[in-house]
Structure formats: C-alpha cells, structure tokens
Amino acid sequence: MKNILAKWESLCAASSVLRFVDINLRGIGQVMFQDNPVTGAIFLIAIAWGSYAAGVPQVAIAGVVAVIVATLTAQWLRVDEKSLASGLYGYNGVLVGLALATFLDPSTLLWVYVVLGAAVSVVAMLGTANVVKAWGSALTFPFVIITWLLLLATYGFSGLTGTALPSGSVVAPFQPYEANPLQLIDLVQGVFQSISQVFLKASGVAALLLLAGLAVNSLAAAGFALAGAILAVATAHLLGAESALITGGLLGFSPVLTAIALGTVFYRPSWRVAIYTAVGTIFTVIAQSALNVALTPFAIPALTAPFVLVTWLFLLPRQRLEEAAVAGVEKPGATA
C-alpha cells in the first residue's frame, strides 16, 4: 500500500491533472474521514455500484460532478493548500450531489442545483470551520444545512420536484408496525446497509467495498464502522424501532460515522475512549429517531444531522477526556 501511494504521489507531483484527480478522490474518502486516494477510489466504485444496482446512475454522476465543482470552487476561493490537498473541501460537495440526485427527480434544474449546492457547500465549509475550530471539525454540517435548504425550497418551486422526499404530517404516537419478528439475516442486512447508507445507498456489496476502502487506510476505522453498525442495529431493535428502518440501515448510518469519528479520528484509543464512543454511538441512534420525528412536519430527511449533533456534543469536552487519558492509568496507543 505504501509503495502504491508513494508511486501515485510522485505521479501527482509531476501532473496537475493527476493532482486534481487525487484531491477529488481524497474528498470522497473524507466522507468517512480517510485522507487516502485509494480509499476514495474504492468508495467511488461503491457509489457507482450502488447507483447502478438501484437503477439511478444519475446519482453517482451527480456525486462526481459535485465533488469536482466543490474542488474548483475551493481553488477559486484560494483556501489553504494543505486542507484542500487533503480533500477537506470535497466531502460535503459529494454528499450534496448524491443527496440532491437521490431525493429529486432528474431535470435540467437538478443539475443547476447540484452545481450551486456543491459550490455553496465550500462557502459553508469555510464558515463552519471558522465557528467550530475551538472544538475541532465541521463534520458534515455544511452538507446537512445546504441540502436541507435546497430540498425545502423545492416545495415552493414548480421547476424541481422530489418524489423520494418524505411526506409532511404532524408528529403522531408510534404506529405499531406489523408483527414481523426480525430474523438474524434481517439484522445482518441492517448492519451492512447502515454502512452503505452513509453514501445514501442500500447495498450489501457497496458496504463491503466501503469496509475494504476503510481497511486499506485504517483497520481501526473499518473495525469501528462495523462495530458501530452492529451496536446501532442492536440498540434500535431493543428500543422497538420499526423493522423497515432497521433493516434498511436508516437508523444506523449516523451512528457508524459517530463510531469512526469518536473512536479513531479525534480521540486517542483506550478503554475509556471505547466506552465513551459506545455511549455516543447508542445516543446517536436516539438522536436519529428524534430528528426523524422532528423533521416530520417539514417533509425533509434527517441526513447525517444526528451524527453531527452527537459528535459535536461528545467532542466538546474532549480536552477533559484526553487530559484524563494522559493523566490516568491507561497509556494512550499510537495516535490514529
């Protein structure tokens, strides 16, 4: 792996076209916090497969268009070179593109929307990073806020329609679903689709590709992603969530991101961190259900807002836990 990356890096150093490709692949990898072009390439294959298998190839195309527009916008705005080269100005763009093409019907205006949304996601990324720099990362907040605005606005525009959007209603008591006891196979499906839904896809093959993409850069990230998905599905099942949501991975994709973020990226690993991450992952399932409910009157999806909310909450006291880890009996492992 190291050899491949070294070879690729030397090629990129010699070619501005390859460098541009490199930045965009890293942008795709950063959706799951991986600054690695190989990871990004594998993720791109997963996206393509998921779109193709679901009969919506425009979704993958929108993702690619959006990440390119985001990178070009970041260059035009002359953001700092190091963050740009790490793909930090691309991951929100790719998600905006995937989400818009997933929830809205294809049309010329959809592509205007994709370009505009991807460009503004960079502005939102710069702004969010400014505000939250005291406690770390913008996470996918720019993606969430820009996509929410773009989707909400369509209810006032005849030029854009969204058949895949939820329908609006006021919050009502839980409607008991059909007594359809979950089999182990359903739970396993829920675990894998929790991983693939990070890229808005319900696909076991895509999930395996995503795990592979994580593993080539960080075994810990792949491990926490899988463990987070298992914990999320188990939590949702025990709390009595609707079966279709569990098996479709719709209560698990935010917890998967929380698990990777808290477990491997922002805190140095230790037992204390593992317990803290588990609590954060479980609470993300609750936040996902809560935001699904809270957004019901607005007829928009929660996207990864539960992940952003809970991870910010659990990151804010970070100094505390890190100092504690340093001061305490546990020896911190190698930094991620």
CA distance 289 to 283: 10
- Which residue, 55 or 156, is less far from a second copy as judged by CB? 156
**CA neighbor of 198 nearest in space, from 252, 160, 147, 278:** 252
- Which residue, 2 or 78, is less far from a second copy as judged by CB? 78
CA distance 117 to 72: 13
- Residue 295's H or E segment, with its range, is none
Query: Is residue 4 involved in binding a second copy (CB under 8 A)?
Result: no
- Which residue, 5 or 313, is less far from a second copy as judged by CB? 313
Closest approach of a second copy to the CB of residue 297, in Å? 4
Near a second copy by CB under 8 A: residue from 41, 77, 208, 274: 77
Query: Is residue 234 involved in binding a second copy (CB under 8 A)?
Result: no
Tokens of 83: 């963050």
Task: Give the other-Cβ count within 10 Å of 204's Cβ.
Answer: 17
CA distance 83 to 207: 27
Query: Is residue 193 involved in binding a second copy (CB under 8 A)?
Result: no
Query: Is residue 157 involved in binding a second copy (CB under 8 A)?
Result: yes
Number of residues that bind a second copy (CB under 8 A): 72
223, with CB counted inside 10 A (0-12, 13-18, 19+), is middle
Closest approach of a second copy to the CB of residue 235, in Å? 10
**CA neighbor of 215 nearest in space, from 226, 204, 228:** 226
CA distance 193 to 172: 27
Query: Is residue 16 involved in binding a second copy (CB under 8 A)?
Result: no
Query: Is residue 160 involved in binding a second copy (CB under 8 A)?
Result: yes
- Which residue, 261 or 287, is less far from a second copy as judged by CB? 287
- Which residue, 219 or 316, is less far from a second copy as judged by CB? 316
Site for a second copy in 279-308 (CB under 8 A): 279, 282-283, 286-287, 289-294, 296-299
Burial 267-281 (b: 16+ CB within 10 A, else e): bbbbeebeebbbebb
Site for a second copy in 237-256 (CB under 8 A): 238-242, 245
